[in-house]
Amino acid sequence: MGSKQSVFTEQEMDDYLDLTFFTKREIELCYQKFKSLSPEQVLKDRETRLPMKMILTMPELKVNPFNDRICKVFSSSEDGDLTFEDFLDMMSVFSEDAPVSVKAEYAFKIFDFDEDDMMGPEDLEQLIKRLLGDEELHARDIKQLVKNLTAEADLDDDGLLSFAEFEHVVAKSTDFVQAFRMRL
């Protein structure tokens, strides 16, 4: 037997091709990456769920200030633990081929810290603090920044940013796409 057999059935592969922005090869690469986090566990049960702590050891996620939010958003169990399919979903949205609108959709979910489907002042404050990391910004500067961010994006004047308002403002930023990208 010389040919390399895929770990997935043809049906599974077709489904993955439909549901992600990946090619067959990229899907296989994703699997290898997922498996490398805990080879024994994944080989034993392909549908196993890897704990968030393990996912966060990945170099791409390790230094990302929103790594826990990213895991939570893609976690089908909503606790940050990921199955391979959750993981594949995540890598697909962060891939080069995912359109800006899809990235924006997930970015919004990631930045919606209190998960109320809107980006309010508390969400924005969290966002700023996470971005600054160790560096400190005076509380009044943070409040001012939150005000400015809201003012610039809030079109219906309700003091909250809906997904549409958020997308409108980040779609212009080429750097946004750079920040929401992980290479395989």
Partner 1 sequence: MTVANESQDTLDHDPKLGHSTLSLASYLLFVRRYLVIVNPVSGQGKGLPTFREKVHPILMEAGVKVELLVTERPGHARSMVSSSNLSEIDGIITVGGDGLLYEVVNGLRCRDDSDRISNIPLGIIATGSGNGLARSVAEYSKEDADYLKNPVLSTTLAAARGKVVPVNLMEVELDGRKIYSFLSVGWGLLADIDVESEVLRAIGESRFTIWSFLRLAKLRHYKAQLSYIPCERVSRDELNGTSRTSLRERDPVFIDGEFISVYSTCQSYIGSDLIFAPKAQPGDGLIHLTYMTKDAGRASATQFLLGIDKGAHLSVSGVSYVTVKEFTIRCAGGINGTITIDGERVTGEEIKIKISPRPLHVFAL
Residue that is written with structure tokens 């049906």 in the block? 11
Give the side-chain half-sphere CA count within 13 A for 169: 16
**Shortest Cβ 132–partner 1 spacing (Å):** 5
16-24, 48-56, 84-92, 138-146 -> range binding partner 1 (CB under 8 A): 138-146
State how far the Cα of 28 lies from the Cα of 16, in Å rounded to an integer. 10
Is 52 within 8 Å of 44 (Cβ atoms)? no
Q: Which residue lies nearer to partner 1 by CB, 32 or 173?
A: 173
Residues 6 or more apart whose Cβ sits within 8 Å of residue 25: none
Total number of residues that touch partner 1 (CB under 8 A): 24
**Shortest Cβ 67–partner 1 spacing (Å):** 12
Q: Among 116, 107, 118, 143, which Cα is nearest to 128's?
A: 143
Within residues 17-46, the interface with partner 1 by CB under 8 A covers none
CA distances from 88 to 20, 21, 182 (A): 8, 10, 12
Within residues 141-160, the interface with partner 1 by CB under 8 A covers 141, 144-145, 148-149, 152-153
**Shortest Cβ 137–partner 1 spacing (Å):** 5
Site membership for partner 1, residue 62 (CB under 8 A): no
Q: Which residues bind partner 1 (CB under 8 A)?
A: 65, 128, 131-133, 135-137, 141, 144-145, 148-149, 152-153, 169-170, 172-176, 178-179
